[in-house]
Structures are given as C-alpha cells and as structure tokens.
C-alpha cells in the first residue's frame, strides 16, 4: 500500500486506519480502470477511509460524505472552506493551553468545553473547539449526553498536537472535491448508481451489553437501525452501486448465531481481526473480530 499524506484530523471511535488493507482487498479489482468514480461515505466519522480512498484512487471524480453529528460536519465544512482562519484559532488555543500548568490546563479545558456547549458560536469557532476538545479530552472520545452536550472529561496528555497545520492544509485540498452533508445515512441513497462506491461504517452493534458505553450523537443505533441499513444496502445494490460495510461481529448469546450473518445472508461476508479502542477499560481492549459485508462480485 502506498504511503499517504492527508490523514484524519480528529480521533474517532471506530477509526478505520488499521482496516485499510482489508478494505482494499474487498474493493472491485478493476476499480482503478473505472471512469468517473463517485465515492460515498454515509457514516464518515474521522474519515480514515475517505482520505485513503481519495489519495489511492485519483479516478474518484467526486466524493460525498455524510454524518449525523452536526459539529463534526461543521468542522469538515470549515476545514474545506476556511482552513486558514481555523489554523489561526487552533494555534491560539494550543499556545494558551500548553502554557498552563496541569491544574490550569484542566480549568482551560473545562472553560472551552462550556463555551462549546453554549451552541451559539460561529462555525469556525465550533470547528476550532471541536478539534481542541478532541485533542485534549480523555481518549479522544466524542460523547454527548441526552441533552446533546459534549461531556468527556479532561485527558491530561503531556504534549497534545492541537494544531496540525500541515495535515489540515492537505485535508483541505482533498476536500475540494467532496460534497459534505449532515443527516441520516438514508438520504445518500439518491447518489447510488453505476460507478458509485459506498463504504458504510455504522455505529457498532455492541459485542456485549456493557460495551456500548459510547454514543456519538443523541440518537442511538439499535438493531432496527441495523436492519434499516441492510434494506438500504439492498436498494443501492438494485441501483447497481457497489458497497462495502463493516461492523462488529457479535454472536447472539441465546442462539449462538451471528446477527449480521442472518440479516445479510444474501451478500458476501468475511471476518477480519482488528484492534479496537472502544472500551474505556484498557484491560478489555485487544483483538476483536470485525465483519465485512459487500456486494462486490470479485472480492
């Protein structure tokens, strides 16, 4: 795999950097020969796959990204359209934070978190604070409570890189051919057609009851949502789009059966292993099986 320059500008639970090799193997073998490819990522999160795809496949003419998280999407839009002002604000946040002692950093973090939760900010301020909080909070989590407020505690990293200017500029350049939407994944169905590739990475189905402590947005993603996504996959397949979807691989305790094998029986399924940083308890992190589903004929 070629080295790449632009990488995710935020840490995101479920980030797919380590699965890129497996995703590459699942793509249509002749993808490089396709003309005017449209790439669609309806659950973009940190965008690891998006940035990799855009740099690996120059024949992607246009990309469409979507996520339900409004602040995340606001940040993508600002990186695309106002990166110079964003960098200026991040540099200031970085200088002010780094110059504090340990107690001062915590106070500064909590003040910026309250500012972020006031929700009456300019888009560029929202984006700057979103990146700042992501870099300085515990584990780089983005968790909101039932009121939609960001509530992750301070992270205590010794030297967090709050402003990665070089990467932000590289990402901004790549985003120029990306259309950015905020909403439900189902709204991207209208882009399905020939030469369209969807990569779908929805919130994971919890491996166990207790592992689902993280919520990206106020709205959850339960089994009914997973089935709604399967129906979406069936519809975009009928429209001749290619899709690859990933998820966790939970085995039902009562029946010993795999939920995704049951609901996706008409598609291809393979298992891959991934180290997942999804559990707050470091003892429970490790290799977990991940499932990849696709309608790619040659994969």
Ligand X SMILES: C[S@@+](CC[C@H](N)C(=O)[O-])C[C@H]1O[C@@H](n2cnc3c(N)ncnc32)[C@H](O)[C@@H]1O
Does residue 259 bind ligand X (CB under 6 A)? no
> Is residue 243 within 8 Å of 200, Cβ to Cβ?
yes
| Count of residues near ligand X by CB under 6 A | 23
Which among 28-36, 64-72, 120-128, 151-159 is the span making contact with ligand X, rule CB under 6 A?
64-72
Does residue 140 bind ligand X (CB under 6 A)? no
Nearest CA among 208, 218, 175 for reference residue 44: 175
Instruction: Rank residues 35 and 287 by Cβ distance to ligand X and give the closer one.
Output: 287
β-bridge pairing 60-67 and 178-182: parallel
Does residue 214 bind ligand X (CB under 6 A)? no
d(CA 212, CA 197): 29
d(CA 217, CA 32): 35
Using CB under 6 A, which of 97, 132, 191, 221 touches ligand X?
Answer: 221
Residue 52, C-beta contacts closer than 8 angstroms, at least 6 positions apart: 4, 20
Nearest CA among 119, 120, 127, 184 for reference residue 147: 119
Instruction: Rank residues 47 and 155 by Cβ distance to ligand X and give the closer one.
Output: 47
> Is residue 221 within 8 Å of 202, Cβ to Cβ?
yes
Residues 2-21 that bind ligand X (CB under 6 A): 12, 14-16
H or E segment and range at residue 288? strand 286-294
Minimum distance from residue 99 beta carbon to ligand X (Å): 31
Does residue 181 bind ligand X (CB under 6 A)? no
Does residue 130 bind ligand X (CB under 6 A)? no
Does residue 24 bind ligand X (CB under 6 A)? no
Binding mask 36-55 for ligand X (x = CB under 6 A): ------xx-xx-xx------
For 273, phi then psi, to 5°, come to -105, 150
Q: Which residues bind ligand X (CB under 6 A)?
A: 12, 14-16, 42-43, 45-46, 48-49, 66-69, 184-185, 201-203, 216-217, 219, 221
């Amino acid at each position: 795999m070629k080295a790449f320059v632009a990488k995710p500008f935020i840490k995101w639970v479920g980030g797919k950097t380590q699965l890129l090799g497996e995703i590459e193997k699942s793509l249509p073998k002749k993808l490089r020969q396709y003309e005017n490819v449209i790439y669609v990522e309806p659950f973009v999160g940190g965008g690891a796959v998006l940035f990799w795809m855009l740099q690996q496949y120059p024949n992607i003419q246009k990309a469409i990204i979507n996520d339900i998280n409004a602040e995340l999407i606001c940040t993508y839009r600002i990186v695309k359209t106002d990166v110079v002002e964003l960098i200026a604000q991040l540099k200031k946040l970085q200088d002010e934070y780094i110059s504090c002692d340990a107690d001062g950093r915590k106070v500064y973090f909590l003040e910026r978190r309250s500012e972020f939760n006031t929700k009456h900010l300019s888009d560029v301020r929202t984006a700057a604070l979103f990146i700042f909080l992501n870099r300085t909070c515990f584990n780089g989590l983005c968790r909101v409570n039932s009121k939609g407020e960001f509530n992750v505690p301070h992270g205590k990293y010794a030297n967090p890189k709050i402003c990665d200017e070089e990467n932000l500029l590289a990402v901004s350049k790549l985003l120029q051919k990306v259309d950015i939407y905020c909403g439900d994944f189902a709204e991207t169905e209208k882009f399905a057609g020939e030469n369209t590739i969807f990569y779908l990475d929805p919130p994971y189905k919890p491996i166990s009851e207790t592992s689902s402590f993280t919520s990206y947005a106020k709205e959850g993603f339960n089994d009914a949502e997973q089935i709604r996504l399967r129906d979406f996959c069936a519809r975009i397949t009928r429209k001749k789009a290619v899709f690859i979807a990933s998820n966790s691989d939970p085995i039902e305790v009562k029946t010993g059966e795999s939920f995704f094998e049951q609901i996706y029986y008409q598609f291809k399924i393979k298992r891959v292993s991934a180290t997942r940083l999804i559990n707050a308890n470091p003892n429970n992190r490790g290799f977990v099986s991940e499932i990849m589903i696709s309608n790619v004929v040659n994969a």
